[in-house]
Structure 1
Amino acid sequence: MEIQERKVADIILLDLSGRIDAFTSEKLEEELNSIINTGKRKFIINFDKVTYISSSGLRVFLGAYKKLSDHKGAIRFSNMQDTVLKVFALAGFDKIFDIYSTETEAMNGFKGELNESRA
């Protein structure tokens, strides 16, 4: 699994590629925790090049979700392949997380939250 980090305004975008499994999930968890510990609170995870996710990978995202929720942060997902989306749905994660078809839609979701909080 590879992780590429980008930043757009106050949103951290992580482009993932490859498999997220028991062998690679620790690296992902360390990366997410490291960024969260710097005070970043808005994340978009781009799954465009992720071919597989195991329960170990799901656990990493659930942990990040809990940490971010405690600090009024959020994590969104975009560009999921059907096979990965099915795993999220089977685990009920499609009810917990906001999953978008595109990165742009995920970013607009954050803008919508900003506008709602100002109203």
Structure 2
Amino acid sequence: MLIVDDDMRNIFALSSALQQYDLIVEIANDGDEALEKLETTVGVDIVLMDIMMPRMDGYEATRQIRKQNKWSKLPVIALTAKAMKEDREKCLAAGANDYITKPIDMDRLISLMQLWLEG
């Protein structure tokens, strides 16, 4: 899996929690790096994409992922600190499969990941 977030605290908390599920976690610090990781890392099954990042934000990174046929079915779950209705709609319009707000409810995140990985 690929975690894309510019805040090392979020990356550490998420990757630590997810490693207990025997997941291999790759890290990217912004949208540009996420696209590079997807090009160079074999077997990424799901992306957790922070929305608010410098350089290339999560909306643009998700749009770029969706432009590539090879990643058209790759599940992308948007992570955002905002919990407003229009934020969810903007994430989905950019191509995210789903959306979860910060602070992350790990049980909900695991459920979402299972749903999209099984689909």
TM-score with structure 1 length normalisation?
Answer: 0.52
State whether residues 46 and 76 of structure 2, in contact with CA within 8 Å, keep that contact through their aligned partners in structure 1: yes
- Inter-CA distance 87–69: structure 2 relative to 1 (3 Å threshold): farther
Q: Aligned residue for 2:47?
A: 43
Whether 2:114 is the aligned partner of 1:111: answer yes
What letter matches 2:100 in structure 1?
A: Y
Deviations 1:33-92 (A, max 9, x none): 122120223111245xx4x789x6322221124448636321102343247x74563xx4
- Inter-CA distance 12–100: structure 2 relative to 1 (3 Å threshold): farther
What letter matches 2:65 in structure 1?
A: A
Name the larger-Rg structure. Answer: 1
State whether residues 65 and 74 of structure 1, in contact with CA within 8 Å, keep that contact through their aligned partners in structure 2: no
TM-superposed CA distance for 1:103, in Å, is 5.0
Distance 1:46 1:69 in 2: 21
Q: 1:29 aligns with which of 17, 31, 35?
A: 31
State whether residues 47 and 76 of structure 2, in contact with CA within 8 Å, keep that contact through their aligned partners in structure 1: yes
Q: Which runs of 5+ in 2 are unaligned?
A: none
Pairs aligned (count): 97
TM-superposed CA distance for 1:109, in Å, is 1.1
Distance 1:3 1:67 in 2: 27
Whether 2:99 is the aligned partner of 1:99: answer yes
Distance 1:11 1:67 in 2: 22
The structure that is strand-richer by fraction is 1
The RMSD of aligned alpha carbons is: 3.8
